Amino acid sequence: MKYSANSVNVVDSVNSAPIVKETPSRVVARQGSRVELPCVSSAFPLPSYTWSRHGVAVNATSHVTQVAGNLVLGNAQLDDAGDYVCRTWNQLGSRDVRVRLVVTGR
């Protein structure tokens, strides 16, 4: 197929529920360090992300932020250790990913 100089290529997006890309099940960080818990998925329409710990939503603070799907702890403390769940979703479905954070002493 030939395209003229004025034509536009259109790529059809295929609707899909989130598919989680490879994520480590365990992340180890030193106390006081910055740590990022990854959660990356592909989907169309684009997915949303939420993080929880002990069944409670993790909200952004001066210590905790979310960058795209990743949860970032700027100053990991021993009491931050534990299991975190990332939920990624769109209107076609959702996926949960569990990541265990281990924080070691200085």
Each residue of 77-98: pLDDT tens digit? 999 999 999 999 999 999 999 9
What 58-67 contacts at long range (C-beta under 8 Å, 24+ apart), as own/partner pairs, is: 58/84, 67/36
Question: What is the rounded CA–CA span in Å between residue 66 and residue 13?
Answer: 26
* Predicted local confidence at residue 23, as pLDDT: 87
Domain-embedded: residue 38:
yes
- Residue 3's pLDDT is what? 29
**What's residue 1's pLDDT?**
30
Task: Give domain status of residue 50, yes or no.
Answer: yes
Q: Is there a domain that residue 84 lies in? A: yes
Flag whether 44 is in a domain: yes
**Which one, of 62, 94, 74, 69, lies nearest residue 84 by Cα?**
69
Whether the per-residue pLDDT at 102 is higher than 80: the answer is yes
Structural domain includes residue 12: no
Domain count, the chain: 1
- Looking up residue 34, the CATH number of its domain turns out to be 2.60.40.10
Domain that residue 47 falls in? 24-104
pLDDT digits (tens, 9 = 90+) for 9-48: 333 468 999 999 888 999 999 999 999 999 999 999 999 9
